[in-house]
């Protein structure tokens, strides 16, 4: 069984030591860069939550989700692709802890937390993955995430998937 814990001075170093397999490095940003981006986002008012993922009292992974409230200007093309939703922005597990079912537990746990609307109401949960990342694709689809035609940028091939939050 896994648990989410806030990033603290006590677990920060353990989070920075998390490393994915060499062939997965292009699939996800590093914990270090993600924490730096979280700091910038949070200090500028973004609603995001980074967690260390623990199993048996050991840091085994890392996850961040981000809230995008409903825009008042839905016709504006600059509106985020995640409008009116939560984005599971990063999720990774150390190479030594992959294949143990922690990913499935973490996705289930974060979906349940998001359904409590910690930052506000939303209709969707979004996430993205690289097309070559078949393991993540199967995991996310097993929870009902469906691929969309949304893109971060026109030349980006990353797949954005969403799950409707049942009221």
Q: 128-142: b or e for each residue (b if 16 or more CB lie within 10 Å)?
A: bbeeebeebbebbee
Q: Mind listing the pLDDT tens digit for each residue in 23-63?
A: 777 788 888 999 999 999 999 999 999 999 999 999 999 99
Helix (H, G, I), strand (E, B) or coil at 55: strand
Distance, in Å, from the CA atom of 99 to the CA atom of 78, rounded to the nearest integer, reads 39
Nearest to 136 by CA among 23, 15, 13: 23
More confident residue, 62 or 73: 62
Domain 2-164: CATH superfamily is: Gcn5-related N-acetyltransferase (GNAT) (3.40.630.30)
Helix (H) or strand (E) holding 6: strand 2-6
Helix (H) or strand (E) holding 43: helix 31-43
pLDDT value at residue 91: 92
Q: Where are the alpha helices (DSSP H) in the chain?
A: 12-16, 31-43, 102-114, 134-142
Beta strand 47-55 with 58-68 is antiparallel
On average, the pLDDT of the chain sits at 89
pLDDT value at residue 150: 80
pLDDT at 75 over 80: no
pLDDT value at residue 151: 76
The β-bridge partners of 132 are none
Residue 155 — pLDDT band, cuts 50, 70, 90?
low
Rg of the Cα atoms in the chain: 16
Distance, in Å, from the CA atom of 86 to the CA atom of 125, rounded to the nearest integer, reads 5
Q: Parse the chain into domains and list their residue ranges.
A: 2-164
pLDDT at 74 over 70: no
Q: What angle do the packed helices 134-142 and 102-114 form, to 10 degrees?
A: 50
């Amino acid at each position: 069984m896994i648990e989410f814990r806030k990033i603290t001075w006590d677990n920060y170093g353990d989070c920075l030591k998390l490393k994915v397999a060499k062939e997965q490095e292009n699939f996800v940003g590093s914990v270090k860069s993600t924490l730096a981006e979280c700091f910038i986002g949070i200090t500028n008012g973004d609603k995001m939550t980074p967690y260390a993922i623990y199993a048996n009292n050991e840091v085994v992974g890392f996850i961040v989700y981000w809230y995008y409230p409903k825009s008042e200007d839905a016709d504006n093309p600059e509106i985020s692709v995640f409008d009116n939703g939560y984005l599971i922005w990063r999720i990774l597990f150390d190479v030594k802890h992959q294949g143990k079912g922690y990913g499935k537990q973490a996705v289930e746990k974060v979906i349940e937390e998001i359904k409590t609307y910690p930052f506000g109401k939303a209709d969707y949960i979004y996430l993205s993955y690289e097309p070559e990342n078949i393991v993540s694709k199967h995991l996310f689809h097993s929870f009902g995430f469906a691929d969309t035609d949304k893109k971060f940028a026109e030349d980006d091939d990353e797949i954005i998937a969403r799950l409707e939050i049942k009221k």
